[in-house]
Amino acid sequence: MGLKLGVIASGSGSNLQSIINAVKEGRLDGEIAVILSDNPEAYALERGKLSGIATEVVELDRDSTREAHDEKVVAALKKHGVDTVALAGYLLMVTPVLLDAFPLRVINIHPALLPSFPGTGVQQDAIDHGAKFSGCTVHFVDEGMDTGPIIIQAVVPIRDDDTAKTLGARILREEHRIYPQALQYLAEGRLKIVGRRVVLDPQSPASGTLHNPAVSS
Ligand code: GRF
C-alpha cells in the first residue's frame, strides 16, 4: 500500500522536490497528501503549489509550548489523511506529541554521517574537524537530536579546498537520491527495526571500501 505522506519543511525544499519527482516518476509508491511549513515564506510551499499539492502553514506561537504547536501540526496532518511524516529541512525539534501520533512513521534527513555531527552547521563542523568523508543520513526520528535508527547513509569525500557551500552541494545531491529510496523501502514494508538497527529485508548491502586520499595498494 502506498504512503500518504506529509512533508514538513521550513526552507527551500529541494528534498521535498526530490520526493515530488520520485512520486511523479513512479519511483515512490504513494502520494504527498500535504506539505506543511512553520514558515509562510518557505519556497517549499511554492513547490507544492506548482505541483498541485495541498499546503498548510502552522506558525510557531512564541507564547505557547512546543507540545501545543505539535498538536496543531498533528491536526493539520491528520486532516489530510497522512500516515507517514517526512521532515525535510524542518528547523524545529519535534515533541512526543507528533511522534506518538505517527509511531515509527516520522523520518528525517540529516546532512552528515550520524552519529557524527548532529545539529546544525554540520558541513562546516565536518570540515573543521578534518574529516575525510561526510555524507547524509536518513533516519527514523526519536526524541533526541538526530539520534534515531539509521535507514540509509551516503558517503561523500571532503576535498582539501571544500567550503561548507561546496561540500553541502555535494551532500545535497546524495540526499536527493537516498531520501526517496528510504521512503520507498518503507512503502514496500522492508524496514524492520531491531533495537537500534534498521534491517532491510531482503538485504541489499553496499560493496566496496572508500579511501580518501587514495591508497596505492
Ligand atoms: C538539508 O541539508 C537536510 O539534510 C537538512 O536541511 C536541509 C534542507 O534542504 N535537514 P532543502 O530545504 O531540502 O533544500
pLDDT of amino acid 81: 98
CATH of the domain at 118: 3.40.50.170
Q: Do 93 and 114 belong to one domain? A: no
Same domain? For 93 and 122 the reply is: no
Do residues 41 and 57 lie in contact, with contact meaning Cβ atoms separated by under 8 Å?
no
Mean pLDDT of the chain: 97
Q: Under DSSP, is residue 73 helix (H, G, I), strand (E, B) or coil? A: helix
Domain membership flag for residue 132: yes
Q: Name the domain count of the chain.
A: 2
The band of 15, judged by pLDDT with boundaries at 50, 70 and 90, is very high
Does ligand 1 lie within 6 Å of residue 14's CB atom? yes
Task: Tell me, in angstroms, the distance from the centre of ligand 1 to residue 98's CA.
Answer: 20
Give yes or no: residues 80 and 131 share one domain.
no
Do 4 and 95 sit in the same domain of this protein? Answer: yes
Domain boundary among 103, 119, 140: 103
Q: How far is the CA of 192 from the centre of ligand 1 (A)?
A: 25
Do 128 and 172 sit in the same domain of this protein?
A: yes
CA gap 144, 87 in Å, rounded: 14
- Answer whether 11 contacts ligand 1 (Cβ < 6 A): yes
Report pLDDT for 168.
Answer: 98
Q: How many other CB atoms are found less than 10 A from the CB of residue 211?
A: 10
137 and 168 fall within a common domain: yes
Examine the domain organization and report whether 3 and 94 are in the same domain.
yes
> In terms of domains, do 99 and 125 share one?
no
The predicted model gives 16-38 an average pLDDT of: 98
Asked whether the beta carbons of 171 and 136 are under 8 A apart, the reply is: yes
Burial pattern 110-143, b for ≥16 Cβ within 10 A else e, equals bbbbbeebeeeebbbbbbeeebeebbbbbbbbbe
68 in a structural domain: yes
- Residue where one domain finishes, among candidates 71, 103, 135: 103
Q: What is the pLDDT of residue 202?
A: 95
Q: Work out the angle at residue 97's Cα, subtended by the Cα atoms of residues 101 and 66, and round it to the nearest 5 degrees.
A: 145
Q: How confident is the model at residue 32 (pLDDT cuts 50, 70, 90)?
A: very high
Q: How far is CA 143 from CA 51, 96, 117, in A?
A: 32, 7, 17
Residues pairing with 134 in the sheet: 156
Expressed as residue numbers, the domain containing 191 is 108-209
Provide, rounded to the nearest whole percent, the portion of the chain with pLDDT above 90: 97
Q: Quick one: which atom of ligand 1 is closest to the CA of 87?
A: 10
Ligand 1 atom at shortest distance from the alpha carbon of 11 = 12
Say yes or no: 153 and 204 in one domain.
yes
Shared-domain flag, residues 37 and 20: yes
Q: What is the pLDDT of residue 207?
A: 83
Same domain membership, residue 154 and residue 84: no
Question: Is 93 in the same domain as 112?
Answer: no
Residue 149's Cβ-side half-sphere holds a number of Cα atoms within 13 Å equal to: 15
Would you say residue 214 lies in a domain?
A: no
- Residue minimizing CA distance to atom 2 of ligand 1: 111
What is the Å distance from ligand 1's center to 215 Cα? Answer: 32
**Ramachandran angles phi, psi of 213, nearest 5°:** -65, 175
Strands in 106-110's sheet, in edge-to-edge order, are 55-57, 30-37, 3-8, 84-87, 106-110, 133-140, 150-157
CA-closest candidate to residue 8, choices 94, 67, 119 = 94
Q: How far apart are CA 90 and CA 88, in angstroms?
A: 6
pLDDT at 217: 86
Query: pLDDT tens for residues 93-141?
Result: 999 999 999 999 999 999 999 999 999 999 999 999 999 999 999 999 9
Residue 216 lies in a domain: no
Q: CB-hemisphere CA count at 13 Å for 174? A: 19
Give the residue numbers annotated as catalytic, written as ranges. Answer: 110
Helix axes 43-50, 14-24, angle to 10 degrees: 20
- For residue 145, being part of any structural domain is answered with yes
Per-residue pLDDT tens digits for 146-198: 999 999 999 999 999 999 999 999 999 999 999 999 999 999 999 999 999 99
Residue 83 lies in a domain: yes
Q: What is the pLDDT of residues 47-84, one digit of tens each?
A: 999 999 999 999 999 999 999 999 999 999 999 999 99
| Residue where one domain finishes, among candidates 103, 120, 136 | 103
